[in-house]
Amino acid sequence: MRPLGALVAILLLAGCTAAPAPAPSPAPTETTDVVTGLAAPWSIVRLESGSTLISERDSATVKELQADGTVRDVATIEGVVPGGEGGLLGLEYGDGELYAYYTAADDNRVERFDLEGDAGGYRLGDGEVILDGLAKAGNHNGGRIKLGPNGDLYVTVGDAGDPGRAQDLGSNNGKILRITTDGGIPADNPFPGSPVYSYGHRNPQGIAWDADGQLWAAEFGQDTWDEFNRIEPGGNYGWPVVEGIAGDPDYIDPVIQWTTDEASPSGLAYADGHFYLASLRGERLWVIDGTTAAPALVGTYGRLRDVVPGPDGTLWILTNNTDGRGDARAGDDRILQVPADVLLRG
The total domain count for the chain is 1
pLDDT tens string 46-77: 999 999 999 999 999 999 999 999 999 999 99
Sheet holding 32-35, edge to edge: 32-35, 335-339, 314-319, 304-309
**How far is it, in rounded angstroms, from Cα 267 to Cα 274?**
14
pLDDT at 16 over 70: no
Q: What is the extent of the structural domain holding 231?
A: 5-345
User: What pLDDT, on a 0 to 100 scale, did the predictor assign at position 174?
Assistant: 98
Q: How confident is the model at residue 90 (pLDDT cuts 50, 70, 90)?
A: very high
Helix (H) or strand (E) holding 220: none
* pTM (2 d.p.): 0.93
**How far is it, in rounded angstroms, from Cα 14 to Cα 88?**
33
pLDDT tens string 277-303: 999 999 999 999 999 999 999 999 999
**How far is it, in rounded angstroms, from Cα 79 to Cα 113?**
14
**How far is it, in rounded angstroms, from Cα 251 to Cα 261?**
24
Q: Looking at the chain, list the stretches that DSSP marks H as alpha helix, in order from N- to C-terminal side.
A: 340-345
Q: SS3 of 16, please?
A: coil
**How far is it, in rounded angstroms, from Cα 343 to Cα 346?**
5
DSSP string, 108-168: EEEEEEEEES-TTS-EEEEEEEEEEEE---SS-----EEE-TTS-EEEEE--TT-GGGGG-
Q: How confident is the model at residue 24 (pLDDT cuts 50, 70, 90)?
A: confident
pLDDT tens string 91-139: 999 999 999 999 999 999 999 999 999 999 999 999 999 999 999 999 9
**How far is it, in rounded angstroms, from Cα 312 to Cα 195?**
36
> By the 8 A CB rule, do 111 and 130 touch?
yes
**How far is it, in rounded angstroms, from Cα 270 to Cα 212?**
11
pLDDT tens string 184-199: 999 999 999 999 999 9
Q: SS3 of 174, please?
A: coil
CATH number, domain at 202?
Answer: 2.120.10.30
**How far is it, in rounded angstroms, from Cα 126 to Cα 112?**
8
**How far is it, in rounded angstroms, from Cα 297 to Cα 314?**
14
> By the 8 A CB rule, do 64 and 98 touch?
no
Q: CB neighbours (10 Å) of residue 25?
A: 13
pLDDT at 38 over 80: yes
> By the 8 A CB rule, do 29 and 47 touch?
no
Q: Judge residue 93's burial from the number of C-beta atoms within 10 Å of its C-beta, 0-12 exposed, 13-18 middle, 19 or more buried.
A: middle
Q: Closest Cα partner for 205 from 294, 164, 270, 265? A: 265
pLDDT tens string 197-227: 999 999 999 999 999 999 999 999 999 999 9
